[in-house]
Amino acid sequence: MTFILGISAFYHDSASCLIKDGEIISAVQEERWTRKKHDPEFPKNAIQSCLKIAGITPKELDLVAFYDKPFIKFERLLNTYLSFAPKGIRSFVQAMPLWLKRKLWVKELILKELPGYKGKIIFPEH
């Protein structure tokens, strides 16, 4: 048996999906738990729901995939801000703390939220 957990977070409609042997077992949006429409936060409740539906723990996961490459997205964001400077300074000042505190450290957050998981974390193209 192979279990793959997919995670989407930090932009809009965060969610998780669990696949077992190539078939979708569960797919859950975080907003179903938090009651915040289009909740962008890390989908810890959705992840726990997916694992519970399958009756497994994080240790039984074979692979975790985060839907985007945070460092590549960050680089694109910086290039965009530089291209339009100084017009976007307000937006830049607002966005940077969130990126530097959370969005760049997705791997660490995944490991924190999946205690016992020792497998690979991949970041495929969006």
Number of residues that this document lists for the chain: 126
Report DSSP state, residue 54.
H
Residue of 11, 12, 57, 116 with catalytic role: 12
Taking the C-alpha atoms of residue 100 and residue 78, their distance in angstroms, rounded to an integer, is 12
Distances (CA, A) of 21 to 3, 30, 95: 7, 24, 39
Active site residue 12: yes
* Structure-block tokens of residue 86: 């100084």
The amino acid that residue 42 corresponds to is F
Q: Which residues are catalytic?
A: 12
